[in-house]
Structure 1
Amino acid sequence: MRGLEQEIYELECSHIHPEVRISKQKLGEVLDDEFYEIGSSGRIWRRADYDEDHALTPDEMEISDFLLHPLGEEAVLTTYQIWNKTSGKKSLRSSVWKKRTSGWKLFFHQGTPSK
């Protein structure tokens, strides 16, 4: 991987890291103000849900099959698979990242259970 692909891959890895998942502040540095998520549980999440006292589980996860799909100069789509080492479950993931003045921010995320 090179350039933009490497940068976005590292951002994807950062927001699934247990240390970031349990920190409202660190997660807030990754999420866009307009963040929207459809979780693998089927639940809808918005940025405000993470600004409250909600904490994600500090699961250990690993990304594979990462692909970057440019959507223009200021947006990219990523697709990949997650293996949740803690639960033993796999899911397919997609994210839309938008370039903001403060850097790339996670705008949309979806998880779909897989086998």
Structure 2
Amino acid sequence: MESLNSLKDHLLILEENLLKPEIRTSQIELKKLLADEFFEFGSSGSVLYKDDQLVDGIGIVKMKMSDFEIHLLSDNITLVTYRIFNELKNQYSLRSSIWKFKDGRWKMYFHQGTPTDF
């Protein structure tokens, strides 16, 4: 098992990758990061599933992440929390993701975005 700090650094990189246009628009890259069972409660209120997201990708965003933290749920499952500022919508949201280590890699199983005023 990775040290807590290296795990935090690794998951931060994976979350930041999911903000990059070249990842968000690539079915190949999304398949590497999202578990087959992945689903999301979007900040728009919609529920999305991996198969839906892989058709057209997630869409281009310009977001800044802050307050990144990890919360170990077990040896191979971690809850990640952070804040996002969407520069295009001028909107803040709280974010959470559940990552699971399986078959030698971390994959996202769940994500939620909740709008907030700050």
Measured against the shorter chain, the TM-score band is: over 0.9
Partner of 2:12: 9
- Asked if 1:82 corresponds to 2:84, the answer is yes
How many aligned residue pairs are there? 114
Partner of 2:115: 113
1:40-99: per-residue Cα shift (whole Å, max 9, x none)?
A: 0110111111232x2322111111011100001010001100111222111100000000
**Preserved CA contact (<8 Å) 1:28 1:50:** no
- Asked if 1:18 corresponds to 2:21, the answer is yes
Could you tell me which runs of 5 or more consecutive residues in structure 1 were left unpaired when the two chains were aligned.
none
What does residue range 7-86 of structure 1 map to in structure 2 within 5 Å?
7-52=10-55, 54-86=56-88
- How big is the shift at 1:39? 0.3
Partner of 1:100: 102
**Preserved CA contact (<8 Å) 2:30 2:54:** no
**Preserved CA contact (<8 Å) 1:17 1:61:** no
Q: Segments of 4+ in structure 1 off by > 6 A?
A: none
Structure 1 residue identity aligned to 2:14? L
Q: TM-score, normalised by structure 2?
A: 0.90
- How big is the shift at 1:102? 4.0
Distance in 2 between residues matched to 1:30 and 1:4, nearest whole Å: 15
Could you tell me which runs of 5 or more consecutive residues in structure 2 were left unpaired when the two chains were aligned.
none
Q: TM-score, normalised by structure 1?
A: 0.92
- How big is the shift at 1:2? 2.5
Identity across aligned pairs (percent)? 39
